[in-house]
Structure 1
């Protein structure tokens, strides 16, 4: 894979191809051996085929054609223990081509979430702005000389903006989730990848956060950007992880031990 900006690369080819991604740096941050484990551990296809609400929401918001291809909403008011319901489900299933089946209630919920996002004027503008959904960026890190990659949810090259859609069960806890899931690392890593390819700094990285839980009868929607301190911390963290990755490639040694410390509340009892 050569450095570049790819708008037609499939999700499968991206995730099974060359280059180190932010999610892989997350594994290296815990233990370099987890990078190799993730590549070779078998997947439970039965569990993998279960409804992934986050992916379904992403698809409906960013790639409606993919949503139609990969998901199908079952008939409403059609209990399988009735003659009419059984007939409705048989007719529905006869038209399936490997899609993940959503119940009518799941489909209703997903469309409410989408409509909630589109009710937010700035979120709607970001999703409808001319750009590329799920484009892939590849670049060579100038310091470590390794191939890096990222796949922003939405790239708007004319504005120099990236948009990342996050789903959360509790939007009030997103500030904590941001740190726990290392979204500040994602911001810095993606921003540097954008600058490496387009030759100019990113103007804005926006987290479009939508709740999958109801508050006051609605699904909350918020837009966040990180401050300079968070971005700098993210850049420092990913540079450490990238250096570890490059060293593992050079030496062929992928350490697997993780060090545990007593939690703060246990230390207070000593």
Structure 2
């Protein structure tokens, strides 16, 4: 499978009024370049597809009803995610543009108006302090030998959109790699960049479980295998970087058991998704009467007294 050329139709800008571009639609499995992030997240497959994030939102502690609401009601940009998105852009060299808002806070009307204008233009507004932070983060990451090598500009491409059909359930799946370099000799290594509060390995153990990163790793490796871009020995690694000085970096790989758990959960999510699509029913947490126990510490406190 080779990477396909840019699949996004161009608008005719010759004399007169330009006709509207035809909607971008995916009808064939493949790897697509040039797909805008909002187009990818809106899901350009006619029958609908499941993403890694969606798979995680289908399963507990979430449920299909919450997944469907999330899918059908895209959330507006949130300021707390701006720094991560901007760092992502600087590190990968792709993504929304960044606009420095030369103010100390968002309290003034001038800062608010400048931020609104940046968002209207599809860019990420950052106060000067945050703008300096993301530039320092990108510089620190380039000093990390392993991370810098994984994101080397020679041969790699940022933000490729993958669409494939799961061979077991026959549902459409999709994913968007941060960076993909199929020209590198040896086994394929697929990096994914994350900003975090702590990149300490002991803290990452909890983060990988809490955020379902083992599922994400299995999802993307499965998609790359389905498209003929990865063998069984391919690896998915995370580049974690702290958001505070000195912006430490840890390159982490989920171990085989984490990937096995991720594969199990992804399979469960794909079957649940297919069932919901076919039935048209997206249940909540449970259809039965839930028997709720008290917290363990309460039971321990009264166990001897009431037994």
Higher relative CO (CA 8 A, sep ≥ 6), structure 1 or 2? 1
Question: Is 1:191–1:205's contact at 8 Å kept on the other side of the alignment?
Answer: yes
Offset of residue 42 of structure 1 = 6.0
Change (3 A) 1:198 1:263: farther
Question: Equivalent residue of 1:52, what SS?
Answer: helix
- C-alpha distance in 2, partners of 1:233/1:48? 31
- 2:275 alignment counterpart: 247
- C-alpha distance in 1, partners of 2:256/2:193? 21
- 1:72 alignment counterpart: 99
Question: Equivalent residue of 2:218, what SS?
Answer: helix
- Match among 60, 63, 82 for residue 52 of structure 1: 82
Structure 1 residue 127 corresponds to structure 2 residue 151: yes
- 1:209 alignment counterpart: 240
Question: Equivalent residue of 1:151, what SS?
Answer: strand
Runs of 4+ more than 6 Å apart: none
- Match among 114, 119, 140 for residue 138 of structure 2: 114
Return 5+ residue gaps in structure 2 as ranges. Answer: 1-25
Q: How many residues align?
A: 251
1:220-250 CA distance string (max 9 Å, x none):
1010112111111110111011111111111
Structure 1 residue 152 corresponds to structure 2 residue 177: yes
- Match among 178, 183, 187 for residue 208 of structure 2: 178
Offset of residue 263 of structure 1 = 4.7
- C-alpha distance in 2, partners of 1:56/1:234? 28
Higher helix share: 1
Matches within 5 A, 1:200-239: 200-201=230-231, 203-214=234-245, 218-239=246-267
Return 5+ residue gaps in structure 1 as ranges. Answer: none
Question: Is 2:51–2:174's contact at 8 Å kept on the other side of the alignment?
Answer: yes
- C-alpha distance in 2, partners of 1:142/1:207? 26
TM-score calculated relative to the size of structure 2: 0.74
Change (3 A) 1:123 1:42: closer
Question: Is 1:51–1:102's contact at 8 Å kept on the other side of the alignment?
Answer: no
Offset of residue 108 of structure 1 = 1.0
Question: Equivalent residue of 2:177, what SS?
Answer: coil
1:178-209 CA distance string (max 9 Å, x none):
00001000111111100000254252211000
TM-score calculated relative to the size of structure 1: 0.83
Question: Equivalent residue of 1:198, what SS?
Answer: coil
Offset of residue 257 of structure 1 = 2.4
